[in-house]
Amino acid sequence: MSRRETAADAETNAGASAGKFGRYGGQYVPEVLMPAVEELTDAYERYVLENEDGFVDDFRERLRDFGGRPTPLGRADNLSERYGIDVYLKREDLLHGGAHKLNNALGQVLLAKYMGKERIIAETGAGQHGTATAMAAAYLDMPCEIYMGRTDINRQRPNVFRMRTHGAEVNPVTVGSGTLKEATNEAMRDWATTVENTHYVIGSVVGPHPFPTMVREFQSVISEEAREQAREQLGGLPAAVIACAGGGSNTMGAFHEFVGDEDVDLYAVEAGGSGLGVEESENYAPNSASLGTGSVGVLHGAKTKLLQTVEGQIVESHSVSAGLDYAGVGPELAHLVDEGRVTPVNVGDDAALAAFHRLSREEGIIPALESSHAIAYLEAYEGDGPVIVNVSGRGDKDLDTVIEESEKRDLDEAPDMEVFRA
């Protein structure tokens, strides 16, 4: 489907481990799920890579007619002036549903349909992936259940209502910190029970092969379009592409087609939260910077970079942005960092909030708190222009959090809300 293929595409020798990116990736799942990931790998290769039954054409058409693709690449005039370089924004916030998540959710739900599956499950953190999956499931008429942590339900209420409105069941997960990690555990357990008729729509480039490759494939439409748009609007390639990274699906989507363009620098912006490092005794990291500061381990089906204790217990991560709040990251991204192709950087809660306000005020775009991390990195960026920043989603869902967190910090950038107080 896309221009670039990588090592993990399409090589599945019987009995050998599949889906490796250097030392990362693989299929670390319970035996009960192995036949399912093998079946999915086969379906992915046939439908998505080889366009069997016209899957790819069908998918592309639906991305256009239901999703609203292509999304624009637009010059941010005021930010360009502020930073003295040309800044372009890839507007995934304008995709149906308000985030890049639909590219993947639509692709996977459609694939499940082609595979003859009868039920969809998904995990969600911020609720964006859950919402995108619920939308796609409603559109394609599939029953859908979403696993979501208790804490996330409380901080992302509007998305819970959206999922319910689309007819999805939302199953609260109360164990642990009640965030994305626990929701993923629970979705995997559901899948281990129902795998024969159910497809598990993983929300990022994580999990066992073929998920990291397949999700990247569905998301790479972002860079496919952006690269073409850059040629037309900039007359050539950008100097850099900047995207935030939680699991890394908007990241890989925005990078993939540029990976072969050696002059294009790629920056993955992680959540620096309220500080780097792992607090061993607390089983806690005040950040979600697994790519830049984590260590190698196995979580949720793949070997990758993780935030963990020296003993190997996975810690609770933190970010003001629920969508970045995850202790792992996609294995392909980890590999591209090892290779020196992608530069991991991080932006803390405060800087992300400031960037949220800056983009809202100066460009008339309310970005998701996740995407605000990518915007914020412009403050530190020292390279040449033009740069493309991926605005992975819109921030309406985050308004409650932003108002509360901005007041707590007495942020200069935040608007004065005094007049609204009762």
Partner 1 sequence: MSADDVTAAFADGPALVPYVVAGDPSADATERYVEALVDGGADVIELGLPFSEPIADGPTIQEGIRRALDAGMTPERYLDLVRDLDVDVPVVCMTYYNLLLQYGEGDEVETFVEAAADAGVSGLIVPDLPVEESAELEAACEAHDVALIFIVAPTTTAERVERILGRASGFVYVQARMGTTGARTDVSEDTYESLERLPEGDLPYAVGFGVSEREHARAIVEGGADGVVAGSVFVDIVAEAESVEAAAAALREKAAELTAGIADATPGGAPEPETTK
Ligand X SMILES: Cc1ncc(COP(=O)(O)O)c(C=O)c1O
C-beta closer to ligand X: residue 133 or 371: 371
Phi, psi of 400, rounded to the nearest 5 degrees: -60, -50
Comparing CA positions, the residue from 139, 134, 108, 122 lying closest to residue 40 is 108
Asked if 365 and 359 count as a contact pair (C-beta separation under 8 A), the reply is: yes
Q: Which does 31 bind (CB under 5 to 8 A by kind): ligand X, partner 1, none?
A: partner 1
99, 285, 351, 388: which one binds ligand X (CB under 6 A): 99
Interacting span for ligand X (CB under 6 A) from 121-129, 271-279, 306-314, 340-348: 121-129
Contact letters (x/-) for partner 1, 167-206, by CB under 8 A?
Answer: --------xx----x---x--xx--xxxxx----------
User: Per the structure block, which two tokens stand in for 298?
Assistant: 């196995």
**Which segment (49-57, 246-254, 303-311, 405-413) binds partner 1 by CB under 8 A?**
303-311
Task: Compute and round to an integer the Cα radius of gyration of the chain.
Answer: 20
Tell which one of 127, 301, 331, 344 touches partner 1 (CB under 8 A). 301
Q: Closer CB to partner 1, residue 309 or residue 343?
A: 309
Which is the catalytic residue, given 45, 92, 123, 225?
Answer: 123
- Binding of partner 1 at residue 283 (CB under 8 A)? yes
Per the annotation, the verdict on 392 as an active-site residue is yes
Catalytic residue, chosen from 80, 90, 92, 101, is: 101
Find the binding residues for partner 1 in span 310-329 (CB under 8 A). 310-314
Q: Does 344 bind ligand X (CB under 6 A)?
A: no
Residue from the set 125, 178, 294, 348 that interacts with ligand X by CB under 6 A: 125
Which 206-245 positions form the footprint of ligand X (CB under 6 A)? 244-245
- What is the rounded CA–CA span in Å between residue 372 and residue 32? 40
Crossing angle of helices 101-114 and 55-65, rounded to 10° = 140
Which of 1, 9, 24, 26 is the binder for partner 1 (CB under 8 A)?
26
* Residue 247 touches which of partner 1, ligand X, none (Cβ within 5-8 Å per kind): ligand X
Would you count residue 323 as binding ligand X (CB under 6 A)?
Answer: yes
Residues 174-213 that bind ligand X (CB under 6 A): 204
Q: Which residue has the tokens 């993983």?
A: 202
Between 19 and 253, whose beta carbon lies closer to partner 1? 19
Residues touching ligand X, count (CB under 6 A)? 22
Q: Is 249 a catalytic residue?
A: no
| 181 noted as active-site residue | no
Which does residue 227 bind out of ligand X, partner 1, none, counting CB within 5 to 8 angstroms by kind?
none
Q: Does the footprint of partner 1 cover residue 308 (CB under 8 A)?
A: yes
Stretch binding partner 1 (CB under 8 A), from 25-33, 239-247, 331-339, 385-393: 25-33
- The answer to whether the CB of 366 falls within 8 A of the CB of 66 is no
Pick from 185, 249, 290, 319 the residue near ligand X by CB under 6 A: 249
What residues line the site for ligand X (CB under 6 A)?
Answer: 99, 101, 125-126, 128-129, 204, 244-251, 323-324, 368, 370-371, 392-393
What residues line the site for partner 1 (CB under 8 A)?
Answer: 14-18, 26-36, 175-176, 181, 185, 188-189, 192-196, 283, 295-301, 306, 308, 310-314
| Active site residues per annotation | 101, 123, 392
